[in-house]
Chains A and B, each alone.
Chain A
């Protein structure tokens, strides 16, 4: 507030106090927005649960009429989907997280400032590409590219179950995981980069002063400080990978099995892609089953985020951020 102009007697304002209405309106709007988020979340959960109940209550015979369930019961159908969702996201994380840490380190500690900035924008730009474009890219560019690699893996390391019986074109869970990895790269990199940039200058300088090389400094100061950031970034990325629909739908030949044949077509499918694939022609109980699988995906993502929060909170005490 600006100081009041000097005057002979104190000015006592008895009328409207400036800002009071504004404060009230603003606090009302923010509280409202906060509550609205909770209401929307609750409404989504309630909608999913209510629509899913018929599927949870139905018996195996009821499911016989639903073509896409191929004669399974609800858990026989949803179980492999959960597995497929988790495994594709896991592959994506295994590829994306080390890559992201590398990129983030390069941007925050190695690259010249100008290059770092440009690169940062570029990575953020990746996040703006719609998933259907990633799907097209996966089909048209990535699949032909990885096909020789996969077939080499299958021929030479085929004795490992992971790599047996590759069949072209490369429409398997591995390709889907790779596409997902590229899709979640931006969000993970951006988050990790921000965390790395916040490493206390003193820690870094202290490390360097003790004679550490740059890599040793990163190991001693940056990585321990950024650990919780890396975990939360990975979980954010996993959240996106779990729910990704279009790209998986386009690059994967789906199947409903639980196994680790990463290079075979028709073995796995993610929940979201499965809903997108069957919803247009589903009716009656079929819709309920799909919504039930959506409810489980909701719980899964919710669970992943909760675990992430828990890890971050637990780690926060040791991170050195304070």
Chain B
């Protein structure tokens, strides 16, 4: 990391000893830290320099933080940052040129894509599904020992639509012959704010059980009078706050809570990175997808064995044309790193983001899109 220490003369002595201590610490940190003159940047590794700022979906935050750390380790000259402002704000900031890349849970609509041409200096918007995160259906039933409670698609929809109201309901018991379910009211919990998690979850419900879940997919929960919490941590607070609650959240945040094994075809699939990543492979491309916009229509109702269908796919958004050589090189290098197996595995660590690594096939297409990033003029 580049450091710039300026000292007033009177403080110099104290400063020198502080630097000495720091140098010892740095030396102790080992190999990857650049040595020598602390004020020069990019001493080793690549010649990339400058800054790259992004903003957008908070769902990606943990993963992006991991990626930024990995990226700056390899490219100490680049000052990279990500502000989890939310997908909408991220797209807006990207389009008005505040940030170089954005993270968004939703693909851009046609209006935004049109605005993107101007922002991208006549180029196009690039959208890459680089973050795949399973959404777990979590419950708080301390008395139930089973690792997962099995639920069919209809059951999940029925519970969240408020039609199945007790844990000992026949619909749940049928799928769980070996589990003793308590006589306890079910308290469905949802996100109170607009979120990609809610949008993906309601999209799943309306795709798999349209007769039970009669609402449209939306970022805001469509039913009133429910228990809810702001952000993922808010939902977890509510679920932990009372027994009999059931909700949905980023699988990586499920913690000690029980998770539902979701009915797919004839079997029940608990969430796992592999099962979640598999849905990308079985899903078709979106109607307006191009070789730069790798947007997909998730096949939520898949019956493919071993596929976990409740996932959130968050896109990394960039330009195919940037104003300066530096920006173009930095963005291309960063996103290439994000698509690399190393970065994807890093984000998949449970203590980073618990996301599902993308497949090799997707990686090839992502790299082909990134190779088209150029400079304006």
Chain A residues near B (Cβ < 8 Å): 67-68, 70, 139, 143-144, 147, 167-169, 171, 249-250, 253-257, 264-267, 276-278, 280-283
B87 within 8 A of A: yes
Shortest C-beta distance, B199 to chain A (Å), equals 8
Question: Are the C-beta atoms of B86 and A281 separated by less than 8 Å?
Answer: yes
- Bound: A293/B193 CA distance, A: 16
Closest to B89 in A: A280
User: A168: nearest residue on chain B (CB-CB)?
Assistant: B242
B352 to A: closest C-beta gap in Å? 23
B88 at the interface (CB under 8 A from A): yes
**Complexed CA–CA distance, A70 and B219 (Å):** 11
B351 to chain A, nearest CB (A): 23
* Cα-based distance from A93 to B352 in the complex (angstroms): 44
**B142 smallest CB distance to A (angstroms):** 14
Does B122 interact with chain A (Cβ within 8 Å)? no
Q: Which residues of A contact B242 (CB under 8 A)?
A: 147, 168-169
The CA-CA distance from A253 to B227 in the complex, in Å, is: 5
Q: Which of B20-28, B233-241, B295-303, B316-324 lies at the binding interface?
A: B233-241
CB of A280 within 8 A of CB of B86, answer yes
Checking A253, A264, A280 against B194 with a beta-carbon cut-off of 8 angstroms, the contacting residue is A280
Cα separation A274 to B63 with both chains bound (whole Å): 28
Choose from A68, A143, A171, A249 the contact partner of B220 (Cβ within 8 Å).
A68
User: What's the Cα separation between A68 and B194 when bound, in Å?
Assistant: 7
B224 is an interface residue with CB less than 8 A from chain A? yes
B88 contacts A283, CB within 8 Å?
A: yes
Which of A169, A266, A282 is packed against the most chain B CB atoms within 10 Å? A169
List the B residue with the shortest CB-CB distance to A66: B220
B314 on the A face (CB < 8 A):
no
Give the distance to chain A from B143, nearest Cβ to Cβ, in Å.
Answer: 16
Pair A67/B220 contact, Cβ less than 8 Å: yes
Shortest Cβ gap from A76 to chain B (Å): 13
How close is A168's CB to chain B, nearest CB, in angstroms?
Answer: 4
Evaluate whether A250 and B241 lie within 8 angstroms (CB atoms) in the complex, with A255-B224, A265-B225 already known: no
CB-CB < 8 A to B85: which residues of A? 280
**Chain A residues within 8 Å of B234, by CB:** 250
**B228 and A282: CB pair below 8 A?**
no
B222 within 8 A of A: yes
Count of chain B residues with Cβ under 8 Å from any Cβ of A? 30
User: A67-B194, A67-B219, A67-B220 known; A169 and B91 CB under 8 Å?
Assistant: no
B220 touches A253 (CB 8 A): no
Interface check B117, CB cutoff 8 A: no
Q: What residues of chain A lie closer than 8 Å to B218, measured between beta carbons? A: 67
- Which 8 A-B pairs rank lowest in CB-CB distance, beginning with the nearest? A169-B241, A280-B86, A281-B194, A168-B242, A67-B220, A266-B225, A283-B88, A169-B242
Instruction: Verify if B123 is at the interface (C-beta below 8 Å from A).
Output: no
Question: Closest A-chain residue to B106, C-beta based?
Answer: A281
Given contacts A169-B242, A171-B228, A255-B224, 19 further A-B contacts (CB under 8 A): A67-B218, A68-B220, A139-B241, A168-B242, A169-B227, A169-B241, A253-B228, A254-B228, A256-B224, A265-B225, A265-B226, A265-B227, A266-B224, A277-B192, A277-B230, A281-B86, A281-B87, A282-B194, A283-B92
Contact A278 B226 (CB under 8 A): no
Contact present for A169 and B87 (CB under 8 Å): no
Question: Which B residues are CB-close (under 8 A) to A171?
Answer: 227-229, 238, 241
Instruction: Tell me if B195 counts as interface (CB < 8 A to partner A).
Output: yes
Q: Which residue of A lies closest to B222 (CB)?
A: A70
Contact of A70 among B89, B220, B241, B245 (CB under 8 A): B220
Q: A282: which of B88, B195, B226, B229 is its contact (CB, 8 Å)?
A: B88
Bound: A64/B89 CA distance, A: 20
Q: Closest approach, in angstroms, between the C-beta of B56 and any C-beta of chain A? A: 10
Please measure, in the bound complex, the distance between the C-alpha atom of A281 and the C-alpha atom of B220, giving whole angstroms.
10
Q: Shortest beta-carbon distance, B150 to chain A, in Å?
A: 26
A-side contacts of B192, CB under 8 Å: 253-254, 277
Which B residues touch A255, using CB under 8 A? Answer: 224-226
Whether B224 contacts A281 by the Cβ 8 Å rule is no
- Note all chain A residues with C-beta closer than 8 A to B87: 281
CA distance A169 to B230 in the complex (A): 15
Contact of B237 (CB < 8 Å), options: A139, A254, A277: A139
Tell me if B187 is interfacial: C-beta within 8 Å of chain A: yes
CA distance A74 to B350 in the complex (A): 43
Instruction: Tell me which residues across on chain A come within 8 A of B228, comparing CB atoms.
Output: 171, 253-254, 265-266
Q: Given B91, B92, B229, which contacts A253 in the complex, CB threshold below 8 Å? A: B229
Shortest distance from the beta carbon of B350 to any chain A beta carbon, whole Å = 25
Q: Which of B88, B229, B238 contacts A281 (CB 8 A)?
A: B88
B271 to chain A, nearest CB (A): 24
Interface residues of B in 187-225 (CB under 8 A from A): 187, 192-195, 218-220, 222, 224-225
A267 CA / B226 CA spacing, docked (Å): 8
Give chain B residues whose Cβ lies under 8 Å from the Cβ of A267: 224-225
Given known A-B contacts A67-B218, A70-B220, A168-B187, A278 and B193 have beta carbons under 8 A apart: yes
Binary contact track B31-44/A, C-beta < 8 Å → 1, others 0: 00000000000000
**Chain A nearest CB: distance from B148 CB in Å?**
24
Q: Hey, which chain A residues are within 8 Å of B91, CB to CB? A: 283
Chain A, Cβ-Cβ closest to B219: A67
Nearest A residue (CB) for B195: A281
Most interface-central of B92, B192, B222 (chain A CB within 10 A): B192
Task: For chain B, residues 216 to 274, give those with C-beta under 8 angstroms from any C-beta of chain A.
Answer: 218-220, 222, 224-230, 234, 237-238, 241-242, 245
Give complex CA distance A168, B195 in Å.
Answer: 24
In whole angstroms, how far apart are the Cα atoms of A264 and B228 in the complex? 12
User: Mask for B286-327, Cβ within 8 A of A = 1, else 0?
Assistant: 000000000000000000000000000000000000000000
